[in-house]
Amino acid sequence: MTALWLAVLALLLATLLCLIPPLLRRAPAAEPAADANLRAFYLAQREQLRRDLKDGSLSASARARAEEELQRDLLQDLELRRPRAAPWAGQRAGLAAACLLSVLIPVAAVLLYGQLGNPRAAAGAAAIPVEPHAGAPDGSGDDMALAINALAQRLRAEPDDADGWYMLARSYETLGRYTDAVAAYQQVLRLVPGQAAVLADLADALLSANQGAPDAASIAAVAQALAAQPDQPKALALAGMMALRRGDAAEAQAYWERLQARLPPDSEAARQIQSNIAQARAMAAGSPPARASAAPAARISGRARIADALRGQVQPTDTVFILARPQDGPRMPLAILRMQAADLPRDFVLDDSNAMSPDAPLSGAGKLRVEIRVSRSGTAAARPGDLGGALSGIGLPAEGLDLVADTVVR
């Protein structure tokens, strides 16, 4: 910010230096050497007249007339070359113009910037420093963090941009900053209240921030979404999961069947919902879930580690979370594993034994997003300064994953 204003000041000073000195400069005096040259020229002409008279080529009367004309021309030329002091009124006018420009140019620049520029964005840039991102070596994480910070700064200056707030919320979710995503979704709803899709996204972010446990705010958001649009897909999926968590398998089945009717039959989402419906039916009938026997195959394994470049930012007692969540649909974790940073690098396994809820096992999922989070606060929700990493599009079973914490949460 200081560099910006220094550059502006330098440009203003350069402009004034170009405009003001000519106004204060006095007219140059005639050079003595030029006057001497003029006199020498006329003396040479007189000498030539004298020689013409002596040679008889010029009469005395003609010489007298020629000398008279020569003297008159000399006096006229000397008068034209005589230095004249600039009138005081002209000097005062130049001084006044210089003073006026010294004031008007900076004032006009400030007023023009206030009208056409974005002073609040400049203030926001000073208040929210953009730190270099210690992300992936190829710089893609760096570019993403800078873009998200730039978007957040712009929205501070233009808080009525609903599309911008929605984009910021989705970006925060990508980074695992669910608390920030909740705040951004709330800004969207402030501008466009009652949007069913945004209410469902808000509920999903609230659940993710609360490690998958429904609370009053997430339950209310789902209820409002379904009231506004009874067949909203994400709201139906979340409502079914919430119902299953509280033990109401019949209600969960009803929500998921409504959702299934809206999905393409051959899609991955339809197959996942079909699996959820089977589990809900089994629970309602009082029998174990139909896919419980398939649990040994529903496992994810690999090796978790911290990028060498970020090792120095980690304390041995920092908490490490390894979790799996659906690639599409609700982002609540299905399975989670907890350890300490001192344990890394370490092999890991996620299966139904790590499920957040027995009613939502890993074996019932389709494509997954597997994440690692190194947390100083001890919570799985991302906070600035935490380390993270993710692998997307993971199917079941999956083995030999290289899960690396290689980005810094901003």
- Alpha carbon of residue 279 to chain centroid: 44
In a domain, 222, yes or no: yes
With a cut of 90, say whether residue 242 has pLDDT above it: no
In a domain, 330, yes or no: yes
Whether residues 268 and 327 fall in one domain: no
Output the CA–CA distances (angstroms, integers) from residue 86 to 27, 78, 187, 234, in the order listed: 7, 18, 67, 84
Whether residues 280 and 318 fall in one domain: no
Whether residues 224 and 321 fall in one domain: no
Whether residues 362 and 379 fall in one domain: yes
In a domain, 265, yes or no: yes
Provide the domain limits for residue 210. Answer: 160-290
In a domain, 144, yes or no: no
Whether residues 88 and 64 fall in one domain: yes
Question: d(Cα 114, Cα 3) in Å, to the nearest integer?
Answer: 19
Q: How many CB atoms lie within 10 A of CB 248?
A: 17
Whether residues 269 and 373 fall in one domain: no
In a domain, 266, yes or no: yes
- Which CATH number fits the domain that encloses residue 335? 2.60.40
Mean pLDDT of the chain: 75
Q: Which pLDDT belongs to residue 182?
A: 92
For the chain, give the percent of residues with pLDDT over 70.
63
More confident residue, 12 or 349: 349
Show Cβ contacts of residue 235 under 8 Å, excluding neighbours closer than 6 positions. 196, 199, 200, 203, 222, 225, 226, 229
In a domain, 176, yes or no: yes
Whether residues 172 and 82 fall in one domain: no
The most confident of the ranges 14-18, 37-41, 245-249 is 245-249
Show Cβ contacts of residue 165 under 8 Å, excluding neighbours closer than 6 positions. 155, 184, 185, 187, 188, 191
Output the CA–CA distances (angstroms, integers) from residue 328 to 45, 105, 190, 361, in the order listed: 105, 57, 26, 16
Q: Which residues of 54-78 are buried (b: 16+ CB within 10 A; e: fewer)?
A: eeeebeeeebeebbeebeeebeeee
In a domain, 148, yes or no: no
Whether residues 396 and 310 fall in one domain: yes
Q: Among 16-30, 176-190, 257-271, 377-391, which stretch is predicted with the lowest mean pLDDT?
A: 16-30
The most confident of the ranges 87-91, 123-127, 253-257 is 253-257
Question: d(Cα 31, Cα 386) in Å, to the nearest integer?
Answer: 77
Show Cβ contacts of residue 314 under 8 Å, excluding neighbours closer than 6 positions. 306, 341, 374, 387
Whole-model pTM: value is: 0.48
Q: Give how many domains the chain has, as a whole number.
A: 3
- At residue 197, φ and ψ (nearest 5 deg) are -65, -40
Summarised one tens digit per residue, pLDDT across range 260-302 is 888 888 777 777 788 788 878 888 776 555 444 444 457 889 9
Query: Contact 259/237 with Cβ under 8 angstroms?
Result: yes
